[in-house]
Amino acid sequence: MKPEDTGTAQLGILLAALADGPRLLGAVTQRLHGLRAQIDATARRLPPALASAAEAARQLGVSIPTVRRRIRSGELPVVRLGGRVLIALGAITASNADQIAVRAQLARRTG
């Protein structure tokens, strides 16, 4: 077999693989959607992540008294376990750009 025949054969194999690309991409995309659905279902079965007032204050970049005021006002939902009052971390969201910046800085320091 001549070297140019080998190159032509390899080019043919490559072109065939490229032609099959859209089908393979579709299969991968479909599999990723299935995995995402499984992850979402698993996340719904997990209990919420809970934090103390001090941890919630750190996450929000505010003081502990501010967190307690937000608990009393109903702004932060809580779970009571025995004598402890815990905040669902999923309920903690940054409400403005300043809080987002504070949370990003904290994440960089602790990450």
- Residues of the domain holding 106: 50-110
Do 100 and 57 have their domain in common?
A: yes
pTM reported for the whole predicted model: 0.45
Last residue of a domain, one of 45, 64, 79: 45
**Measured distance CA(20)–CA(29) in Å, rounded:** 14
Q: What is the full DSSP assignment across 18-29?
A: HHTHHHHHHHHH
Helix axis angle, 53-60 relative to 64-73, nearest 10°?
Answer: 100
Q: Quote the number of domains for the chain.
A: 2
Do 39 and 62 have their domain in common?
A: no
Give the tens place of pLDDT for each residue, 4-35: 678 888 888 888 888 888 888 999 999 999 99
Do 55 and 25 have their domain in common?
A: no
Give the tens place of pLDDT for each residue, 44-95: 887 778 889 998 888 888 899 999 999 999 888 899 989 999 998 777 665 5
What's CA 78's distance to the chain center, in Å? Answer: 22
Do 65 and 100 have their domain in common?
A: yes
Do 84 and 34 have their domain in common?
A: no
